[in-house]
Amino acid sequence: MHEIITLQLGNLSNYTATHFWNAQESYFTYAGEEEPLVDHDVHWRVGIGADGVETFLPRTVLYDLKGGFGSLRKINSLYDAGTDAVAAAESIWAYFHPRSLVQLYDFELDSAIRPFERFDMGTELFTSLDKEHDILDRDWRSFSEECDLMQGIQAFTTIDDAWGGFASSYLEALRDEYPKTCIWVWGIQSPLLDISREKRQLRLSNTAQSLQQASTQASMVVPLALPESQLRPHIGLDCHSSWHVSSLLAAICESALIPSRLKGYHGASLADTAETLNSSGNRTIVSAVMSIPAEQSGGVDMGDTLSFFQVGQDSSKVKHRPERIFGQVMCHRGPNTEQTEPERTADSRRRQVIGNPVTRNHFTELQFPLLDSYPHIYRGVMDRQSIPVRTVLKTNTSISTRLKGLRSQGTRLVPLEEREALSHGLAEIADAYRDGWSSGSDEDEDEL
């Protein structure tokens, strides 16, 4: 069935994934309705509720700190007939299997006394928990063993706090267990609002360590940060609300990989998409952009293109140079997008890999759903139930410059004995995105 198992780490990641699961649930169709365009078996597993009725639950394992699940109960009304169904219905969370929820009591959410905010805190927590209980054996293996043919793994995690360290260790364990499995990581960064300079520097340090480690274990790593400077008046987004911020992040996550769960010729596996973006084998960090709709006099038009790749961003130092694209995957969602891409032969693939960008386009009439639970952040299309979306994932030469910026900004708080290895690792990753076509010299090398 080509199943995908999802890993969710941390509060903002769980908010983002909740929007993702709400969207997946909306694609279900019932008797008398049209055949769904989405293969539900990819992300959902069949279960039996307390009343004996068959139900679908997400293939996911989610972790959060003490207090992080809020009103979400480990046993819900699907598996415990005595649960207060009204209270469960009022929760913003979708239903999960009891084995999906793992609460970590070593730290408390939003604690001012002992905040879970440093990369090494996450690695240490994983190590201590894994020694006590083999984490994969306890939390993960039951989901993987019920798969007929696992397509891959999708992970949502923040990378600018301690969850980045926890994720790095978790990914290393997954890679040891599944050496050939395609692993996609959505690396989420929290908005930089009302925080001190010291906190900003700590987040940069965490991000640098997280990306350097994750890029060695994952097939694809997609950093996602709110493009605050690009948000236009027609986007009514409260940057202080995790529910709002995660809704925008979920829109690009859900749309960019929708081919992995589409039926028929529209589909493409996680591995296929990774191969298109990373034909060289050493470009695992990917930038993501999304075009959102804007209401025009003649109807809805694709408005601004938002870049979610904010790594190493410093507008005062960015040099505008021609951008070379190595790999690109574009997904078009909306009406009049029912097109087929010409079949790529082995010869055409070979020619693309040798010299030209490797590109692929996907088209589907299935729009992004605007559910009752989804905040009204798109002011111009508030009366619609779904909207067209266009996403682009790409590897290009600009990533090299950004990673060099991160290398310069994000290694200062790292202990001296680890700083050299981190700096060298980021430099190696950045070099994979360099190309003589875009730069004839090394004048943009950063000084450390």
One DSSP character per residue, 70-121 reads TT--SS-TTT-TTS-HHHHHHSSSPP--GGGEEEEEEEETT-SSS----HHH
Per the domain annotation, does 188 fall within a domain?
Answer: yes
pLDDT at residue 268, as a whole number: 92
CA–CA separation, 293 and 418 (whole Å):
45
pLDDT at residue 317, as a whole number: 52
Per the domain annotation, does 156 fall within a domain?
Answer: yes
Q: What is the mean pLDDT of residues 407-417?
A: 85
CATH code of the domain containing 217:
3.40.50.1440
Q: What is the mean pLDDT of residues 339-356?
A: 51
Q: What is the mean pLDDT of residues 61-89?
A: 60
N residues, the chain: 448
| Structural contact between residues 311 and 207, judged by C-beta atoms closer than 8 angstroms | yes
* CA-derived radius of gyration, the chain: 21
CA–CA separation, 73 and 81 (whole Å):
13
CA–CA separation, 339 and 416 (whole Å):
54
Per the domain annotation, does 295 fall within a domain?
Answer: no
323-343 in b/e burial notation, b at 16+ Cβ within 10 A?
ebebbbbbbbbbeebeeeeee
pTM for the whole structure: 0.88
Per the domain annotation, does 340 fall within a domain?
Answer: no
Q: What is the mean pLDDT of residues 206-213?
A: 96
Q: What is the mean pLDDT of residues 367-384?
A: 86
Per the domain annotation, does 209 fall within a domain?
Answer: yes
Q: What is the mean pLDDT of residues 369-383?
A: 85
Q: What is the mean pLDDT of residues 92-100?
A: 76
pLDDT at residue 294, as a whole number: 65
Residue of 414 and 213 predicted with greater confidence? 213
Per the domain annotation, does 441 fall within a domain?
Answer: no
Is a pLDDT exceeding 50 seen at residue 407? yes
Q: Which residues contact 167 (CB under 8 A, 6 or more apart)?
A: 9, 122, 155, 157, 159, 185, 210, 214
Structure tokens at 320: 């505008």
Is a pLDDT exceeding 60 seen at residue 74? no
**What one-letter code names the amino acid at 31?**
A
- Domain span at residue 210? 3-288
Q: Which residues contact 350 (CB under 8 A, 6 or more apart)?
A: none
Query: Average pLDDT over the chain, rounded to whole?
Result: 84
Structure confidence by residue, pLDDT tens digits, 320-333: 667 899 999 999 99
Per the domain annotation, does 445 fall within a domain?
Answer: no
CA–CA separation, 440 and 443 (whole Å):
9
pLDDT at residue 165, as a whole number: 97
Confidence bin at 75 (pLDDT 50/70/90)? very low
CA–CA separation, 105 and 114 (whole Å):
12
pLDDT at residue 318, as a whole number: 52
Confidence bin at 354 (pLDDT 50/70/90)? low
Outline where DSSP puts E strands in 215-357. Answer: 220-225, 287-296, 299-307, 325-333
Structure confidence by residue, pLDDT tens digits, 108-129: 998 999 999 999 999 999 999 9
Q: What is the mean pLDDT of residues 263-283?
A: 90
The shares of helix, strand and coil residues in the chain, as percent rounded to the nearest 5, are 35, 25, 40
CA–CA separation, 219 and 364 (whole Å):
25
Strand-strand pairing, 287-296 and 389-396: antiparallel
Structure confidence by residue, pLDDT tens digits, 140-199: 999 999 999 999 999 999 999 999 999 999 999 999 999 999 999 999 999 988 889 999
Task: Count other C-beta atoms under 10 Å from residue 199's C-beta.
Answer: 14
Domain total in the chain: 1
Confidence bin at 369 (pLDDT 50/70/90)? very high
pLDDT at residue 292, as a whole number: 80
Confidence bin at 82 (pLDDT 50/70/90)? very low
Is a pLDDT exceeding 60 seen at residue 215? yes
* Least confident span in 82-86, 191-195, 374-378, 382-386: 82-86
| DSSP H helix total and E strand total for the chain | 12, 15
Per the domain annotation, does 158 fall within a domain?
Answer: yes
Confidence bin at 342 (pLDDT 50/70/90)? very low
CA distances for 127 relative to 86, 114, 139, 148, angstroms: 39, 19, 15, 30
